[in-house]
Amino acid sequence: MFGTVVVGVGIAGLARIRDLMNPMPSSPSEHLKLFGFVSRRSFGNINEAKQISLEDALKNKDIHAAFISTENRSHEETIRMFLEAGKHVLVEYPMALSAKAAHELWEMAEQKGKVLHVEHIELLTEEYKQLKKEVAGKDLVKGTLHFTGSVLDENKSGFPAFSGIARLTWLIDLFGDLTVTSATREKQKDKNYSRMTVHFQTANK
């Protein structure tokens, strides 16, 4: 069995705990053993998974991999700690708040002989796979991607573009490299409202 720990118990972390506690029959998850979860908040147990300290997770020789599901800003530091401790790491997208940090982390994982995997689970959904089939072989003339969500804490999630960066990778995966041609941001603090509008251009303009 391959020992694991989940770090962070937001929506993604709770889903990880659920799936590790109840793996699909004959799936690779059956070979994973959840030793516990790490959180700054005190929970005790969640679905029979026990809370352990970060220090215990880093020191435990039976834990081979960490699933990191914390806020964006803390990803980089948490990845470094687990790689230093000799653990494999799976992290929710995005891995870090800069490309420079991401490259440094991948180099560190390579030097340690560990797997560092960034998971962007939306790209594995049936809906997305269908969308990819629909645009295959077609030329993009013009298009709009619009999405909404609650206003995020920038101290935890990073600057606003990071709140939507997962959606931007859809566009790059579908249409290739993109260049930013303009970007504006509108804020209405009294209404707790923020909107970012970005225009991109594909490689063939």
Identify each DSSP E strand in the chain by its residue range. Answer: 2-7, 32-38, 45-46, 49-50, 65-68, 88-92, 116-119, 178-188, 193-202
Domains, the chain, in order of start with CATH, read 2-119 (3.40.50.720), 125-202 (3.30.360.10)
- Does this model's pTM top 0.85? My answer is no
Which residues does 189 contact at the CB level (< 8 Å), separation at least 6? Answer: none
Residue pLDDT, tens place only, 137-178: 988 899 888 888 777 777 777 777 776 777 888 899 999 999
The string of pLDDT tens digits covering residues 37-64 is 999 999 888 888 999 999 999 999 999 9
The CB-based long-range contact list for 176-182 (8 Å cut-off, 24+ gap) reads: 176/202, 176/203, 177/202, 177/203, 178/202, 179/203
Residue type for position 185: R
